[in-house]
Amino acid sequence: MSEHKPSNWNVPNALTTLRIVMFPFFGYALLHDGGDNLDWRWIAYGLFVVAMITDKIDGDLARKHNLITNFGKIADPIADKAITGMAFVGLSVIYPVMWWITVPVLVREWGVTIARLSIAKQVVMSANQSGKVKTMAQALALGGLIAPFHYLTGVWDLPGDIVWWTAVVLMAVAVVLTMTSGYEFARDVLRHRRSATAAKA
């Protein structure tokens, strides 16, 4: 008896697609008036939070109701990288020093995505545990930098500064995790290729 394969037309995949569609609107909000408009920065933060929450929800739903599909395994990281990539680029436009972080991180992120797609016909490689931790660290760091917490005044001045600097520290952690999880992914791909080659011999 063949194993039932869930349809690609399901709620988790719809949420994934929503995140892909959302990213240009998020980018517009983040860079409105060059990123100096605080109201639009908060809107961008709200869109980013929605994107991260739906990322968690679609994964939980897919696992709970056995709705994991090859489309979801491939599209989900693409959706994540579309949103986080826009966040990195937008923040680098606002804070040019961040280009030193953005360029190597995006090279790694899209390198992994391209590699994942290139072997999709042979095997669909889900994110490993370090990759999931990296995604969470990136989300918390980017969220803390997207929202203009450091512009808060009055009684919110100190809490805003604490959140801002916490986000900066988390960004440093996220960069390390990004590179180490990228190495682990490359290692796993090489192992798969060697196993495939040995099986054909």
The string of DSSP letters for the chain reads: -PPP---S-SHHHHHHHHHHHHHHHHHHHHHGGGGT-HHHHHHHHHHHHHHHHHHHHHHHHHHHTT---HHHHHHHHHHHHHHHHHHHHHHHHHSGGGHHHHHHHHHHHHHHHHHHHHTTTT------HHHHHHHHHHHHHHHHHHS-GGG--GGGHHHHHHHHHHHHHHHHHHHHHHHHHHHHHHHHHHHHHHHHHHHH-
Rounded distance between C-alpha atoms, residue 96 and residue 121, angstroms: 39
Rounded distance between C-alpha atoms, residue 25 and residue 60, angstroms: 25
| Residue span of the structural domain in which 125 resides | 11-200
Residue 78 lies in a domain: yes
pLDDT for residue 191: 78
pLDDT for residue 182: 82
Residue 2 lies in a domain: no
Residue 80 lies in a domain: yes
Residue 4 lies in a domain: no
Nearest to 26 by CA among 84, 75, 74, 77: 84
**Which two tokens mark 144?**
């803390």
pLDDT for residue 88: 96
pLDDT for residue 27: 95
pLDDT for residue 95: 93
pLDDT for residue 78: 82
Are the beta carbons of 18 and 54 closer than 8 angstroms? yes
pLDDT for residue 2: 47
Are the beta carbons of 58 and 76 closer than 8 angstroms? yes
pLDDT per residue of the chain (201 residues) written in tens, 0 to 9 = 445 677 778 888 889 999 999 989 999 999 999 999 999 999 999 999 999 999 888 877 877 877 777 777 778 878 888 899 999 999 999 999 999 999 999 998 888 877 776 665 555 555 567 777 888 899 999 999 999 998 888 999 999 999 999 999 999 999 998 888 888 877 877 777 777 666 666
Residue 3 lies in a domain: no
Residue 79 lies in a domain: yes
Count how many domains the chain has.
1
Amino acid at 107: V
CATH number of residue 40's parent domain: 1.20.120.1760
pLDDT for residue 113: 75
